[in-house]
Amino acid sequence: EVQLVESGGGLVQPGRSLRLSCAASGFTFDDYVMHWVRQAPGKGLEWVSSINWISDTIVYADSVKGRFTISRDNAKNSLYLQMNSLRAEDTALYYCAKNLYGSGCFDYWGQGTLVTVSS
């Protein structure tokens, strides 16, 4: 059974940093592109970033480019999101999502970890 479990969220002041983690199991992690998607409270979905299996293709949404860094450790079956210079508008539930093979859509999602940016 595919499982994605996010952690690392919390309350943080504007301008500070936070690192999210996603522990994956139930599939061959290093075969798949992985993504972060976020959802502000009561709002829609926003794709944040994607990373391919060998970490040589990485893309970001313009809203986080230069501030967030996605990475993965295939030996640990883990995905990460380093978030720097956080803003109030980054407040959201952050989901880790597995790519449907050969596509760019998301066939499995974690339950999310909540990031709140507030002073």
Partner 1 sequence: IVLTQSPGTLSLSPGEGATLSCRASQSVSSSYLAWYQQKPGQAPRLLIYAASSRATGIPDRFSGSGSGTDFTLTISRLDPEDFAVYFCQQYGSSPYTFGQGTKVEI
16 versus 101: smaller Cβ distance to partner 1: 101
Burial 61-71 (b: 16+ CB within 10 A, else e): eeebeeebbbe
50 or 80, CB closer to partner 1?
50
CA distance linking residue 1 with residue 96, whole number of Å: 16
We find the least distance from the C-beta atom of residue 72 to partner 1, in angstroms, to be 18
Q: How far is the CB of 18 from partner 1 (least distance, A)?
A: 20
Distance from C-alpha of 66 to C-alpha of 2, rounded to nearest angstrom: 31
Cβ-based nearer residue to partner 1, 1 or 119: 1
Nearest distance from residue 108's CB to partner 1, in Å? Answer: 8
CB of 119 to partner 1, least distance (A): 28
Identify the CA nearest to 106 among candidates 44, 47, 22: 47
- Judged by the rule CB under 8 A, the positions of this chain that interact with partner 1 are 44-47, 50, 59, 61-62, 95, 100, 103-107, 109-112
